[in-house]
Structure 1
Amino acid sequence: MSLVNLSHVCSHLQNASKARLGLTSVPSSNMHLSVLLALQSAGFLSSVTRGGLQPPPLDNLSAYIPEPVTQENISTRRLWLGMKYWDNQPVLSEMKMVSKPTKRIWMGSEGMGRVIRGKGEGEVKGITRPGECVFVSTDKGVLEIRECVERKIGGMLLCRVV
């Protein structure tokens, strides 16, 4: 799992929302896909679509079928993301890494419960703003921190999104 590439995706999404882009792309990987699908289910992104170098058609996105992956085109695969805005403000305004490539932060469900209640645990600040989410890499996939506490699952904290 490359946290360096995930930190690039975090800064790209933050910059894309500040630039008011409607559609943007990031390199395709399984980790990026799982984090971006978790962001979409949390309501920060409107769509996540696999594709190539050319963006998918915006008029009929549900009928879009990407070209099959081959050895020749695997390096050009992209994940196309639909950015979301509300009242002319970006829904995703800030996205930062919690674990760094040089310092990974693992936490159990008890510590995550303290983070949810706004108290903080160790170096991790508590959740204090409305709509703030922390995503965690677990053995069940990438989950939001509240879901981890409900399931009593620990894992590595990935990123914080507001």
Structure 2
Amino acid sequence: MSVNDPLGDMLTRIRNAQLRGKSTVSTPASRLRAWVLDVLQAEGYIRGYEKKETENGQGELVISLKYFEGTPVIRELKRVSKPGRRVYMATKDLPSVRNGLGVSIISTPKGVMSDASARSANVGGEVLCTVF
């Protein structure tokens, strides 16, 4: 099946798996997805992920979701920049999610990073998603 927005698809899979209380969720592998998962893991929103090879050679990312006392750690996961409407922001305009309690994931020329890392590196870029 062809997906127009692979990152949006992964975020929806995570959201749906957490609503069902699943411990893991799998998604087709890509470098962008892995970079976003690296940021989510560094910020403490997921336990981790691992890449597994599939029979067709595509590869698959198996994401271990994180819960605290039975409730998902990720309360809100929103896609900001979409294929139909890209959202780019300068360093000074980077959004603060819930007064700094959440994280924006930014794709910058220096790689995919959180909003705090982008501010400290003084780079702007495409706002991929927000997490709270």
Superposition TM-score, scaled by structure 1 size: 0.75
Picking from 34, 52, 57, the partner of 1:74 is: 57
Q: Give the Cα separation in 2 of the matches to 1:14 and 1:129.
A: 22
Task: Give the deviation of 1:97 after TM superposition.
Answer: 0.5
Aligned Cα RMSD in Å?
A: 1.7
Picking from 100, 117, 138, the partner of 2:82 is: 100
Task: Give the deviation of 1:132 after TM superposition.
Answer: 1.1
1:128 alignment partner, SS class: helix
Query: Unpaired segments of 5 or more residues in structure 1?
Result: 54-71, 117-126
Q: Give the Cα separation in 2 of the matches to 1:41 and 1:25.
A: 19
The aligned runs of 1:11-160 (5 Å cut-off) are: 11-53=12-54, 73-75=56-58, 77-112=59-94, 115-116=95-96, 127-128=97-98, 131-160=101-130
Q: Tell me, yes or no, if the aligned pair for 1:99 and 1:156 is still in contact at 8 Å.
A: yes
- Residue in 1 that maps onto 2:9: 8
Q: How many residues align?
A: 130
Query: Unpaired segments of 5 or more residues in structure 2?
Result: none
- Residue in 2 that maps onto 1:121: none
2:8 alignment partner, SS class: helix
Larger gyration radius, structure 1 or structure 2: 1
Q: Give the Cα separation in 2 of the matches to 1:154 and 1:3.
A: 25
The residue type equivalent to 1:40 in the other structure is Q
Greater strand fraction, Structure 1 or Structure 2: 2
